[in-house]
Amino acid sequence: MRVVHGARARILGAVVALLASATASTTAMALPIDAYPGAATSYLLVADGMPLWAHAPDLPRPPASLAKLMTALVLLDGDWQPQATITASRRAVAVDGTRLGLRAGESLHAADALVALLVRSANDVCVALAEHEAGTIEAFAARMNARAAKMGLADSHFEHPCGLDSPGQHTTANDLLKIAQAALERPEIAAIVRMKTARVTTLGGRTIGMHNGNHLLGSVEGVFGMKSGYTTGAGTCIVAVAERKGHRIWLVMLDAPLRWWNAAGMIDAAYRWIAFYPIPAAS
């Protein structure tokens, strides 16, 4: 099957053809299969805990802002105080990429900073949080790697908490799935990644609004998270999670040129697959 670049009907038609050629039992099939060649340099779709479709899920790739899911985990692992004061340094406000627009010396509460980190994907806030927690972004990255080692993520190495391109920084779709699943278990993160919009107020009284970079929220049935990302080295990336009628789908896409269109089609197709061939319960 070729990756879909046309109308949604062509996506569904291709899925029906794939279903028709499959055996009636998922246990008799060799899973996962690459049902969407060309959709991404690396992708992984998991339905109810079963890897359903994948392409090169263990290929090391730059994480872009998907690294911020690990950043959030490390922040919450520490002495997390939602009312702590996070102050933007000159290094923070000069960082590349997406920013909240903080000024040097401007402050906000840690809880609001976490919202800006995950909704706006704000790199200035990301650096400020890392510096507050560990002193420097390099020291914070070391904590990210320690967390990765504790989780058994042998194919991940972090050098920047914001996910900015760095020669030695890499992860995989398989590792990112584990990071995202661990992050979703934290109530603070789970509540934030659902937000389509948010507003934060600095301690100086400046209110800043933002929109979530995950455009699947509100446009694809059941999607309730989780994180999008882009850098020149990583390309466009997404970790998405959806739930319909008790069935949960996870999708990780790294370097996916038509990220939103293909992600929407793949999630819908996965639910159609489940309707035809229910995933057996884990023993």
We report the CATH number of the domain holding residue 112 as: 3.40.710.10
pLDDT digit string (tens) for 50-73? 999 999 999 999 999 999 999 999
Average pLDDT taken over every residue of the chain? 90
Residue 181 scores a pLDDT above 70: yes
Q: What is the pLDDT of residue 279?
A: 67
> In this structure, is residue 45 part of a structural domain?
no
> In this structure, is residue 145 part of a structural domain?
yes
- Domain assignment of residue 164, given as a range: 60-249+256-283
pTM comes to 0.89
pLDDT digit string (tens) for 161-171? 999 999 999 99
> In this structure, is residue 35 part of a structural domain?
no
Q: Alpha carbon of 126 to those of 98, 196, 270: distances in Å? A: 10, 19, 34
Lowest mean pLDDT among 6-10, 97-101, 159-163, 235-239: 6-10
State what percent of residues in the chain have pLDDT above 90.
84
- How far is 94 from 83, CA to CA, in rounded Å? 25
Residue 9 scores a pLDDT above 90: no
Cβ 42 vs Cβ 255: under 8 Å: yes
Cβ 159 vs Cβ 132: under 8 Å: no
Question: pLDDT band at residue 277, thresholds of 50, 70 and 90?
Answer: confident
Give the residue-averaged pLDDT of 14-37.
Answer: 56
- How far is 176 from 204, CA to CA, in rounded Å? 36
Looking at residue 105, the DSSP 8-state letter turns out to be T
> In this structure, is residue 37 part of a structural domain?
no
> In this structure, is residue 118 part of a structural domain?
yes
> In this structure, is residue 187 part of a structural domain?
yes
> In this structure, is residue 12 part of a structural domain?
no
- How far is 41 from 18, CA to CA, in rounded Å? 21
Residue 210 scores a pLDDT above 90: yes
> In this structure, is residue 7 part of a structural domain?
no
Question: pLDDT band at residue 280, thresholds of 50, 70 and 90?
Answer: low
- How far is 48 from 38, CA to CA, in rounded Å? 24
Q: What is the pLDDT of residue 54?
A: 98
Number of domains in the chain: 1
Q: How many CB atoms lie within 10 A of CB 2?
A: 10
Exposed (0-12), middle (13-18) or buried (19+): which is 21, by Cβ within 10 Å? exposed
User: Which ranges of the chain does DSSP label H, i.e. alpha helix?
Assistant: 8-21, 67-77, 90-93, 110-115, 123-134, 137-150, 173-184, 187-192, 259-276
- How far is 219 from 216, CA to CA, in rounded Å? 5
